[in-house]
Amino acid sequence: MKCPKRLWLRWNQPDLGVVDEAMLARAEIGQKIGILARGLNSGGVEVPGDSLSERLENTAQMMRDGHRVLYEAAFAVDGLFAQVDILFRIGEAWGFREVKSAKTVNDNHVKDAIFQYHVLNRSGLSIERVELIFVAQETPMIEGSRVQDLFVPLDVTDICRRESPELPEAVNELLAVIESGEAEQIRAGRHCEATCPYLGHCFGDLADDDLLFAPSLDKRKYQSLVDRGIYRMSEVPADEELSNKAEFVRRALGSGRVPWVAPDLGRRLAAVKYPAVFLDFETASPLFPVNPGMKGGELVVFQFSAHVLSEPGGDAAHFEFVDLESDDPHAGLVEALTPVLAGAGSVIHYSAFEKRCLTRLVGAGVPGAQELLQKFLASSVDMEDFFKDGVYHPKFRGKSSIKVVLPVMVPGLDYSDLQVKNGGMAEMSYVAARSGELVGADLAARREALLRYCERDTFAMVKLFEALLGLV
Ligand code: SF4
C-alpha cells in the first residue's frame, strides 16, 4: 500500500477522484484486450448488472443455472469484493483468468490475483487454477491469428494457495486504515503517482511554490527540508545550497516578478532562424500490430502538422499530413515533410519526441528519412527548454508540458473544444482506423478530428513563441 490516503479516499470519498482522458484511454485499451482474451475460454456469458448487488446476484444465479464460463463474475464475502475477468469450470471445481494489458508481470498483478483467490475461496468455490494472461512478446496481427497466439498465460495457482492464508491480516490492516480516518490527514508528497485519481484533491490546496513543484530538488534535500517543517520554496533559508534548477525557482520567487524571465532568454530566442518551422508528430505504438510486417509495441509515425513562420510577428502557413489508410504511412509522411523542412532556418518542436520519431523513420529505412533527421538535428530548437529554465511562472507548478504552460501563457487557447484532445486519443484513433473499427463517415470524421488536434499543437507553439517574444 503506497498511500493509505488513496485507499481511504477510494472507500470514503470516491467522488473526489478524477479520471482524466489519458486514464480513460488506457482503461478502454484494457477493456478491449480483456474482451479479446475471452476467446481463450469462448462460449461464455458476461454477467449483467448495473449495480454491485445485481452482479453478485446474477453471478450466483448463473452458476446455479450451470454456466461453465462466465465473464466478469462478481463475489463478495467478509466485506470484501472481487470480480474476475474469466471464470471457468474445471470438472466440479473452478479456475479463473485475469487479463493484463501488459507483456510482463509485476507485484501488483500477483497481489490482485491472491486477493481474488481469497475472496472466491471464502465464497465457497474450489479453485483449481489461477492464471494471469499477458499479451505475447511477439504479437502477430489480431486479424487472421488464433487467440492463443496473442496471449501467454502465467500460472500463479501455487502462490495464491500459499499466500492467501496471510491475507486476512493484511486485509484487517487495510480495513483499519479505511475506518480510522487518520489517513485523510496525509499530506501529498513524493510518494504520489501521476496516475492517482486524487491528485487534484490532494494537490489543489498546496501553494504554487510548494517544494513538490520545485524542479531537481533531490530526494534527500526534499526530505531534509520537510523534516525541518519547510514545505515552500519561499521558506527555504537563503544559505541553503540548491541545484541549479531549484536555484532558478528561488531566484524567480525572490524577484517578485510573475512570470520571471531568465536573463539569457532574449539571447536564446534571438538565435531562432527564419523561416521557423513549428513541427509536431502523432504516433502509435499499440501492443498488437495493426499493420502487416509491424511488431507489437513498434512506433508508427502516421501524422505531422507544421506551421511555418517566415518572420517574427508574421502569419504562419500551415502544412499537414495524416495517413490512416495505407499499411505503411512512413514513406508518404517523409515525402510530404521533406519540402516543408527544406528551407527551414530553425525547426521548433516541443520535447525530444520528434527526434525519436525521425530516428525511428531512419531505422525503418524510409528513403529520405536520414536527410530529414540531419536537417532536424542541424536546426532543432526544443521549445520546452524555454519553459524549463527560461521562464518561471508559479502556475506551471513545476511542469513544462505544453498542456500546462499553454493556458497560463496564452489564456483562452487550449484543447477543450477538440474531439481528439491528447496523444493517447490520437493513438487510439489510429488503432481504431487500422483495425477496421472506424469506417466510412466515422473514419472521415476522426481523420478531420486528428488533423485539428495536431494543428492545434503547432498553432499553440506559434502562440507560445509569440508570448515568449513579448517577455523579452
Ligand atoms: S494524491 Fe498522493 S496523497 Fe493524495 S491519495 Fe494520491 S498518492 Fe495519496
Neighbouring-strand partners of residue 26: none
How many of the other CB atoms lie within 10 Å of CB of 363? 11
Query: Whose C-alpha lies nearest to ligand 1, atom 1?
Result: 199
Neighbouring-strand partners of residue 227: none
**93, 128 contact by CB (below 8 A):** yes
Q: Please give the distance, rounded to the nearest whole angstrom, from the Cα atom of residue 202 to the centre of ligand 1.
A: 6
**403, 351 contact by CB (below 8 A):** no
Q: Which CATH number fits domain 267-469: 3.40.190.10, 3.40.50.2300, 3.30.420.10, 3.40.605.10?
A: 3.30.420.10
Q: At 314, is the secondary structure helix, strand, or coil?
A: coil
- Measuring CA to CA, how many Å separate 167 from each of 120, 170, 172, 252? 13, 5, 8, 51
Q: Would you say the C-alpha torsion 157, 161, 166, 168 has a positive or negative sign?
A: positive
Q: Please give the distance, rounded to the nearest whole angstrom, from the Cα atom of residue 190 to the centre of ligand 1.
A: 9
Which residue stretches of the chain have pLDDT < 50? none
pLDDT digits (tens, 9 = 90+) for 166-177: 888 888 888 888
User: What pLDDT does residue 140 have?
Assistant: 80
pLDDT digits (tens, 9 = 90+) for 392-415: 998 999 899 999 999 999 999 999
Q: Write out the three cell numbers for 48.
A: 449483467
Q: Please give the distance, rounded to the nearest whole angstrom, from the Cα atom of residue 177 to the centre of ligand 1.
A: 14
Select from 5, 9, 18, 203 the residue to mutate for testing ligand 1; criterion: most ligand atoms less than 8 Å from CB: 5
User: What pLDDT does residue 114 have?
Assistant: 95
Q: Please give the distance, rounded to the nearest whole angstrom, from the Cα atom of residue 205 to the centre of ligand 1.
A: 13
Query: Whose C-alpha lies nearest to ligand 1, atom 4?
Result: 202
Query: Whose C-alpha lies nearest to ligand 1, atom 2?
Result: 192
According to DSSP, the β-strands at 80-90 and 93-99 are antiparallel
- Measuring CA to CA, how many Å separate 162 from each of 109, 113, 120, 156, 173? 16, 12, 15, 10, 20
Q: How far is CA 104 from the centre of its chain?
A: 18
CA distance 260 to 252: 5
Which residue ranges make up each domain of the chain? 4-175, 207-256, 267-469
User: What pLDDT does residue 295 have?
Assistant: 86
b vs e for 324-352, b when ≥16 Cβ sit within 10 Å of the residue's Cβ? beeebbbbbbbebbeebbeebebbbbbee
Q: Is the ipTM of this complex over 0.95?
A: yes
